[in-house]
Chains A and B, each alone.
Chain A
Amino acid sequence: MKYIFLFLLILSTQICSSQVGESAKTTKKIEIVTTLSINNDFNLQDYMIGLSAGIEDLGFEWGARVGFNLRPFYKKVQIKSENNIVRQYREQKYLISLDLDKRFLHFDVFGYKLQLFAGVRTGLLLGNYKGTKIDADKFFVAAPFGGLCLNFNDVGYLKLGYMQFNDHLTNVSDSKIMLTGIINL
């Protein structure tokens, strides 16, 4: 508990100093660069990996990325069917995604440039099952996320955060950790 308090204390002092710095800055302007990113979303029950390409506005610190994510293995899932029948499949999952996020605040913590970020991952969730011709139901997903961003002088970013991702599976929690590496080209 005391470590969390200490961390928050450090952050709050950094927020104060960063906000002073922010106000002293000159007016921002749009500065778009293209990006490539690797996405990892996981919890104790599931894992998805993906690649995205998009843009990052260095001036206003927002980004948009189109990506393709997949579960790199077949996972047993249970889907409630009619009349108390539960169907258990081995499922592979795909997500065609659009990520929109915004970075904000600047902290200098132990020499590392940190920021907060928040955004949303939207997209179409697809899947198929082994042993059958039927595919998993398609879902449109909108998963909010947020967390900490390690900023490598606007050359790249490492984002670690939390994502609330509803994949409509009873045996997989909606809470996921996201770890995304982004390179500005």
Chain B
Amino acid sequence: MIKYLTFLVLNCSGIVLLSSCNKTDPNCQVSTSCNTEKIDSGDVTINISYEAGQPGVPVILYDGYVEDNVILWSDTVYQSNITFYLPVGKRYAAEAYYVTSNQTIVALDGTKFKDNTNEECNTTCYQFPTVTLDCEKL
């Protein structure tokens, strides 16, 4: 039992040491590539299973969840991906319809579109946000 407690204490102290390293480095300098301005929009890409010469794939892009039924865009797509420039901080969902003679596969994906950031010397650096919705057929 004692050895497990020792292991736990060592682990905890390691975490404390590691976290304290970041805060107290006086020589830390933010790189010139760090953009501290928040970027309000980015690319939302929908990946689709499309083969050249085949019928197009109907795709619907929703604002929010599918059930909210707020359609941002819908069309038949004749390529394997399509990209939209959309505001960050919102949730998006996409559906692709693969219709064959005997069944229809409705492929759905969705996510919250978050800021693309990294931390440098306790400063938040913003990068161009991108997200991919994977509506490719299994």
Q: Which residues of A does B touch, CB under 8 Å? A: 76, 78, 81, 84-90, 129-134, 171, 183, 185
Contact = CB atoms under 8 A, between A and B. Distances in A.
B38 interface: no
B137 A132 contact: no
B102 A84 contact: yes
A131 B137 contact: no
Interface residues of B, number: 22
B138 A78 contact: yes
Interface in B94-108: 94, 102-108
Contacts of B108: 87-90, 129-132
A87 B108 CA distance: 8
B111 interface: yes
B67 interface: yes
Nearest to A131: B110
A132 B93 contact: yes
Contact of A90 (B67, B104, B106, B109): B109
Interface of B: 1, 4, 62, 65-67, 93-94, 102-111, 133-134, 137-138
A134 B67 CA distance: 9
Contact of A88 (B1, B106, B110, B111): B106
B65 A132 contact: yes
A78 B105 contact: yes
Given A88-B108, A88-B138, A89-B108, A132 B66 contact: yes
Given A76-B134, A185-B1, A185-B4, A131 B111 contact: yes
A76 B133 CA distance: 12
B104 A86 contact: yes
Nearest to A85: B104
Given A84-B103, A131-B109, A132-B93, 12 more contacts: A76-B138, A84-B102, A86-B106, A88-B106, A89-B108, A130-B108, A131-B65, A131-B108, A131-B111, A131-B133, A132-B108, A183-B4
A90 B107 CA distance: 9
B106 A85 contact: yes
